[in-house]
Each structure stands twice: as structure tokens, then as C-alpha cells.
Amino acid sequence: MCGIVGYIGNQKASPILINGLIRLEYRGYDSAGISTIEKSGLSIMKDKGRVKNLYNLDGIDDLSGTIGIAHTRWATHGKPAKENSHPHMDNSKTFSVVHNGIIENYHELRKFLTNNGYTFYSQTDTEVIPNLVHYYYHKDENTDELKFLRAVKNACHDLKGSYAIEIICKDYPNNMIVTRKDSPLVIGKGESENYISSDIPAILSFTKDFYLLDDFDLAVLTKDNVSFYDKDLNVIPKEVKTIEWNASSAEKDGYDDFMLKEIHEQPTAIRETIGTKFNESTKFEFDELNFSKDYLSNLSKIYIVACGTAMYAGLSGKNAIEKLCKIPTEVDVASEFRYRDPLVDEKTLCIFISQSGETADTIAALKLCKEKKAKTLAISNVIGSSITREADYSIYTHAGPEIAVASTKAYTSQVMLIVLLAIYFAEILELNTNTINLLKKDIIDLPKKIEETLKLSETIESFAKKIYQEKDIFFLGRGIDETIAKEGSLKLKEISYIHSESYPAGELKHGPIALIENGITVVSILTDCNLVEKTISNIQEVITRGAKTLVITNQDIDEDMFDMTIKIPETNTFISPILSIIPLQLLAYYISKEKGLDVDKPRNLAKSVTVE
């Protein structure tokens, strides 16, 4: 969940490294540091706190090295402190390392190294890496150009867990070595310079040409070249991939925060995810997929597996798949899925959703399903991400870089893509033709309706000012609206730190109503015409007990019944979550702003959860 940046070229490395860390601060922000190779040897500058603190360190402006590595941290081992910040050096100050991931056997390695005379100065698992590299480097009596690489290879062979690693060595001032396992790392190719990052947006302003590393790949970089090796040090070829994201999409473009910008980018994100091939008169096709009617007809079950917001997108997708395709569909939390021996076989299709494509629990669940002979399908926002390279099939949202930790446009794009997938399956199965034709018409109109919904910002902001000091808020919904209640509640928790809970509205009398008291706020979503009367009855129950009520609806109801009603455009129930979540995204945003909080970087959270 941390961020890595690296540079090797002709320019001063330190400004490039710090700039890259600032762009990666959504990955971690309890400490930061850089290491460069100077004429005097290795230099390390680091401190706890935000990346901007590096600018205040004595000597940072004097660094002139043109090769360096950098890291912004989200603490796993060791409290946020200067001594636990990356980079870390070995005892001899020969090697400097930054690392994302978790070394699961670091206790054993630390004991081994201590018994061999090494001393440790931090509480981190990472500090074993440079010392282990030095151990093998010192044992190697050869002095050829591959000595550095062999030491890194041998050290990585001993590591258990996940890692993305950058290593520089004072004896090889023109080289950098990077490697990865179960943690993201990309190499950006420039002219007489190369860039490294754990995430593409951090270096997108420098290049659009990238090498994507697979697990256990090792890369040796100079300013003019990148050589790739497998875990046995056999040379392997790598193709450059061009990423067409616009660098400006990783900038705020006049908005106060990335989150607000990304909320307002949703019309474009949905248009791009729908694509140009979608129309009312022809069947929808995914060029990346080749499922047959026979295969889909014989499926016993579909699993949708994901974490957090992506899982809630899956819950909305379950509704579309089951109703349009008549295939039983389960949605499961990735972190629980693989530990309960799920009933998966060759008659199961397993769909995995991850915005970054690097979510550790989701990738582990995918690998399990492949072992059980199920077909696997990845849904991601990042081309070439780990999950898309592991899966049998991959389809992409086209939301562009999402920088704010709290997901908005990625969520709505995921919901949209799963609905499109459901249409694709249903048309292959020749089911629900009339329903699908009506749905297609509403999908075409959807981006304009999102734009209409965004115009409600001022009304939502005014309600946020009334409730931002509350300690508890409840969200209610029935049917597909209950999935929106879950996501709305999560958004509020993430960025405002207000305790919130979501419940199926029909479950109120089975316990939760005991928590409703005078003055408490209850937010209800009401978009399914078949459930209007039932849901209003449930809302009346909380009104009777003194609750303030905010209702998000596209139905014709008596608005005077509630403290505030937000009327959104009417649309097909399958895609109503894309519209009904927007007022809740804005509500969470404005409450957080009223509280004076950092909207884009909520405490204890990071954008990409790359460790279990």
C-alpha cells in the first residue's frame, strides 16, 4: 500500500523523485524518503509525515546524483517514524533499498542475519533485504558485471511474501535493479533516461511507454537500456506497452480536490466505458471475450469477488446478471473467499473486480479459482495490471487515473461494465430481448442524466452543512437500492470519519430500529418502482422516532413527508445505482470539507491495498 518511484538518467534525480512521490501520496503518507548515488557514495534523506517534509531536510537541495530511488509509506511493520521510513541501507552502506509489500519470513531472516553479524536499526521487515543482498554479495568472490544482479537474485530467492523492490549499489553507480512479486511495479522508458514507479500516474507526465514486470522478473537499468532476466538469470524479452492516459487526468485541473474532480468526470468515464461500438440495433460485443452459448448455458454459478467499493459494484452487477441471464450469482469478499474452500469448478465463472488491478486478496482468490479449473474474468481500470495478466479474460473500465483514495468514477464505471457484461451474456443466451432493448436506450442517455444529477451539488452541500457534526448516520434501501446504501455508507466512513451503517430497510424492525433516536439522520434510497410503498413505510418508522430524513429518489412521491428529497433523473433499475450514488458521493465530500479534513487522503487508508 506504499508508493515507489525511481529515476536513472542525466537529470538531477531528487526533484523528479519527490515530484513522483507527491503524485503517489494516495498510496501512503505517514513517511517518505529518497536515496541517491552521490560522488561521496549513497545518500539517504527521509522523515516521517507527508512528502512535503522532505523539502525541509538539510542538504536535500545539494543532491546532484542522477540515479535514485524513493518511497512513500503506509506503515505495516513499525510505527511511523524516521528510523522506520524507507529507504533502508545495509550495515556497510553499500546497498540502498525501497520495498512495497510484506516479507512474511522476516523474523527468520533477521535472526539468520543477526547470527552472521548484522545489526538492525528499524522495526521494519524491509531492512532484512539490503543486508541479505550484502550477505550474498560479500560471499560472491567473482567481480564480473553480474555480481550485483546475482546477489539480488539470491536474496529474493530467500524472501517469502510480496514485494516490489528497487535497489541501488555504490559499487555500480550506473545501474539500478528492480524486481517484483505480487506487488505492482512498472518501468517508464524515456530518451537516455528511465523511470520506475508502483503506479503509472506518478510518471505519466514523463512517458507513455512502459515495461510491465511479471512476478520474479528482474530488470537491470542504465540510463540508456533495460535488460530483463527471469529468476534463473536467463535473459528474457519484454515489449513496450503504450498507455494512452492523458497526463492532465492526474492533475486537479482547477478543482479543489481530486475527489471532486473525479465525481465530475463520471459522465466522461461512463461514455468511455460504454465505448463507441454500443448501439440499440446490434448485439453488444466484447472483442476480448469469446464465450459461447453452450458454455454459458452449462454454468452452475457465477462468483463476483472483490473488496470494498468494487465488491459493492459487484452487488449491483449480481442483480443484472441474475435477472437478465438467469445464472445464479454470488458476490463474495476476496479476503474471506479463499479461506472457506469455495465450491468452484469448471462449471463456475469467476469474475474479479479491482480498480488498480493490484489488490492482493483479489489476486490470491483469482489464483485459487484457476487452480480449481474455473474460467476467470478480470475487471480493472489499469491495462497490464497484475490481475489482468493472471486472468483468462480481461475487460476494462475506461475511467482514467483515479487519484483520490475514496473511489467514485471507478465505482460507477465498474457498475456500468458489469451491466454491459450481463447484456452480452443475455444476448448470447437469447434471453430478455425486449428488456435489453429498453435498457440499451437508457444506457445511451445515461451520461447526460449524470450531468443533470451533478447539478444538484448546491442542494446537497446545504444539507451537509446541517449534519456534518453528527456522530452516527444510517443508510436504508431495498433491493438494488440497498447496494447503494452500502456504498454511500462506506464513502461517508472513509472521508468524514462519521460512524455510519447501512441496512436493508425491511430489516429495521429486526434490531437496528433500536438505534434510531430523536435528531439522528437517516438517508434512504428509493429508485425501484416495485418497492416504493414498502420503503416509504420503513422510512415512516424512523420519522416516528424523531429521525431527520434525506431521500434520494427518481419516483413520484410526496416530498413533504421528508426533511429533504433529492430528485434524480428516472432511468432503468439496472443502471439506477450509477445515478443514485452521485448525491451520496457529494454528501460525503461536502461533509468532509465542512469538517476541514483531507478529502483525498483519509487517515489510515491507501488507494491500492497490495498486502493482505
Identify each DSSP E strand in 77-172 by its residue range: 88-89, 95-103, 161-169
Place of cell 451474456: 425
Question: Which is the catalytic residue, given 2, 169, 325, 369?
Answer: 2
Give strand pairing partners of 96. 89, 168
Q: Which of 212, 209, 219, 218 has the alpha carbon at shortest distance from 198?
A: 212
Give the strand order in the sheet containing 95-103: 88-89, 95-103, 161-169, 176-181, 218-221, 226-229
SS3 (DSSP) at 529: helix
Tell me the three cell numbers of residue 182. 505480487
Give the distance between the most distant pair of CA atoms in the chain: 84
Count CB neighbours of 537 within 10 A.
12
Asked if 482 and 508 count as a contact pair (C-beta separation under 8 A), the reply is no
Q: Residue 126, CB half-sphere, CA atoms under 13 Å: how many?
A: 29
Closest listed residue to residue 389, CA positions, set 272, 219, 241:
241
Residue of 99, 178, 101, 95 whose CA lies nearest to 130: 95
Residue with the three cell numbers 450481463: 422
Rounded distance between C-alpha atoms, residue 432 and residue 420, angstroms: 14
The beta strands (E) that lie in 241-347 are given as 241-242, 301-306, 329-333
The residues that bridge with 522 in the sheet, in sequence order, are 474, 549
Which residue type sits at 411? Y
Residue 165, beta-bridge partner list:
99, 179
The DSSP element (H or E) to which 69 belongs, if any, is strand 67-73
240, with CB counted inside 10 A (0-12, 13-18, 19+), is: middle
List, in sequence order, the alpha helices (H) in 124-231. Answer: 128-139, 147-158
- C-alpha–C-alpha distance, residues 307 and 293, integer Å: 30
Enumerate residues 6+ apart whose C-beta is below 8 A from 64.
12, 38, 39
Helix (H) or strand (E) holding 221: strand 218-221
β-strands 176-181, 218-221: how paired?
Answer: antiparallel
Give yes or no: 607 in active site. Answer: yes
Helices 480-496 + 308-325 axis angle, to 10: 170
Which residues, in sequence order, are bridge partners of residue 229? Answer: 218, 235
Q: How far apart are CA 560 and CA 549, in angstroms?
A: 11
Catalytic residue among 189, 409, 440, 607: 607
Nearest to residue 47, comparing CAs of 15, 2, 83?
A: 83
| 2 in active site | yes
C-alpha cell, 72: 512513500
What residues are annotated to the active site? 2, 607
